[in-house]
Each structure stands twice: as C-alpha cells, then as structure tokens.
C-alpha cells in the first residue's frame, strides 16, 4: 500500500518525474511543446499554481503550489495524458513515467527561492548550456525578461525575488550547489528543522487516525502571521498601511488578507481582530467578511 504524500492546501512543492528506464520521453520540440500545452491546461483545470518549470529530455522539474489541494489529481492528469500522446506518437507499451512522481515539500520565502533557482539551473548542471537564459525549455524568461507566459505565475515569482538583479545574483551564487534536503519518514523536505518537525508530527497524527481521513485544519503547517502579511504585500505589490485602511483598494485587499490569515497562518477571528489593520472592524462582522472574500478569491 502506498504511503500518503505529505501535502496540504497551498503547500509548495518541487516535483520531479522521470521517463521509465531513463527513456527520453521529452526529447525534441514537438514533445516539449505538447507537454507545455498539457501543463497549462491541467494547471488551469485543477487550479494548481505553477511557479517554475524545466523540461529535460528524460525528465521534468516543476515548482508549484498545491493551491487547490489536488496535487495528486493534477499529476495523474498531466502524466496520464502525456503518456497517451507519447505512446500514440512513438509506439511501445506500458508505463511512460517511472514510478510515482517525486515530491519535496518546501518551506516558504528563502527556501522557495532556492528551489526555483535550482530548477532554473538544471540545464547548466547537465552541461547543455553555460548560461541558463540560453535554454529554451525553462520558465527563466517568464519573470523579468521579454518573454511572457500564461503557464507560470510570473508576477508572484518576480515579487519573490524583488528584481532581475537579485535573480541573476542567486543564479551565479548557486552554480554548482545542491539543495540541502532533509529526508524523513514523511518524505523529502526543504526547510528548517521546526518546519520538518511540524510536518512529521502532523503526518504521524494522521497515520494513527487512519490514512483515509481528510486532513483537519490542525494538520496544516501554518506560517507565522508576520510572514503571511509580508508575502501578501509582495504578491499584491502594496504596503498594507493602517493609515490607508479607509481607501477602497485597501479595504478590498484587507478582506483578501483575512482569508490568507485564516488559511495560511491559521489565525482565529479573536486573534485577527487584534491586528492593527482590523481594529476598526467589529468582531461579529469577520465571519461574513471572510465568506464574501473567500468567494472572490476562489473566482480569481
């Protein structure tokens, strides 16, 4: 019986999937273009947020956010549909991808940047190019370059790094370096020890309760509220200043921030109302505000 993967809604992952027996399943322009077509369709259909990709000849790397909680369905659809295409084009029988996809849970902020850099440098490590910008089949030009993409969330990644100078600096610094992955019974994790311990604790609790049970809210690995607010400001490109709380834009964004604080920081309403941005609201209004904002976020 296969072990449950460690994931949760909005978790970040580095995903790697290889061709069976090292078969060059992505060799050639036609294969790579079709795979990108499927990647775009599957991520939209299953609402999985893509941050980076790199396609090699016999495997691919993705950095993604499990934004819908349906990571397994996304990978099943992506690899399954590509497998049908590949066997239809080149013949053969049996599986196209080797075993299950490999997934590394990523802590946010700096660790997320490390993972993106690592993926973008993959063609350099493979000695296909000396400059990662010379490789056509990665998302490296989707953030600050002239290229555009409707596959990855380029604006989010751009905000994460701040500017192209910082991205390029990290690309140079990480040449020849490897990610420090912590391997546990939970699975592979890229992050600090507290993050790993929390992941393992939640995994073991779920295992004792029964693997088929749906995750409870207490099983989520929440971020510190300050980190959630900072990332929200980076994502939206705006400083959430209390002095601007009566403007239409900040009121709208405050409602969306409420959703982030509930779902990503795990805060209760009595904790949220104590934050300066929410002081002017009535405690009794937070529930309805959250429900309305959640509908808007889901439509977006």
Q: How far is C-alpha 78 from the chain's CA centre?
A: 16
Which of the two residues, 218 and 292, has the higher pLDDT score? 292
Tell me the pTM: 0.70
Q: Domain locations in the chain?
A: 12-173, 223-300
Which range of 139-143, 182-186, 196-200 scores highest in mean pLDDT? It is 139-143
CA–CA gap between residue 59 and residue 82 (Å, rounded): 12
pLDDT band at 211 (very low <50, low <70, confident <90, very high): very low
**What SS3 state is found at 145?**
coil
Q: Read off the pLDDT of residues 155-180 as tens digits, 9 standing for 90 and up.
A: 889 988 989 999 999 999 998 888 99
226: its two tokens: 């300050």
Which of the two residues, 7 and 57, has the higher pLDDT score? 57
pLDDT band at 131 (very low <50, low <70, confident <90, very high): very high
Superfamily (CATH) of domain 12-173: Transposase IS200-like (3.30.70.1290)
């Amino acid at each position: 019986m296969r072990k449950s993967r460690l994931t949760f809604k909005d978790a970040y992952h580095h995903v790697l999937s290889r061709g069976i027996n090292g078969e060059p399943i992505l060799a050639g322009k036609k294969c790579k273009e079709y795979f990108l077509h499927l990647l775009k369709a599957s991520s939209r259909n299953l609402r999985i947020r893509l941050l980076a990709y790199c396609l090699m000849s016999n495997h691919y790397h993705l950095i993604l956010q499990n934004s819908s909680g349906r990571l397994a369905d996304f990978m099943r659809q992506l690899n399954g549909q590509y497998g049908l295409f590949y066997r239809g084009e080149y013949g053969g029988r049996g599986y196209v991808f080797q075993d299950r996809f490999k997934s590394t849970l990523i802590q946010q902020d700096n660790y997320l940047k490390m993972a993106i850099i690592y993926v973008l440098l993959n063609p350099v490590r493979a000695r296909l190019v000396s400059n990662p910008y010379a490789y056509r089949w990665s998302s490296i030009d989707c953030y600050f370059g002239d290229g555009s993409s409707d596959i990855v969330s380029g604006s989010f990644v751009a905000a994460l790094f701040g500017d192209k100078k910082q991205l390029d600096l990290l690309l140079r610094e990480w040449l020849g370096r490897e990610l420090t992955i912590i391997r546990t019974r939970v699975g592979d994790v890229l992050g600090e020890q507290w993050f790993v311990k929390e992941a393992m604790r939640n995994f073991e609790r779920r295992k004792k309760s029964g693997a088929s049970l749906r995750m409870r809210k207490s099983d989520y690995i929440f971020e510190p509220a300050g980190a959630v607010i900072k990332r929200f400001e980076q994502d939206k490109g705006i400083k959430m200043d209390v002095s601007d709380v009566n403007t239409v834009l900040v009121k709208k964004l405050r409602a969306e921030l409420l959703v982030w604080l509930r779902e990503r920081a795990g805060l209760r309403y009595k904790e949220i109302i104590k934050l300066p941005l929410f002081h002017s609201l009535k405690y009794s209004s937070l529930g309805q505000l959250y429900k309305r904002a959640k509908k808007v976020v889901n439509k977006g």
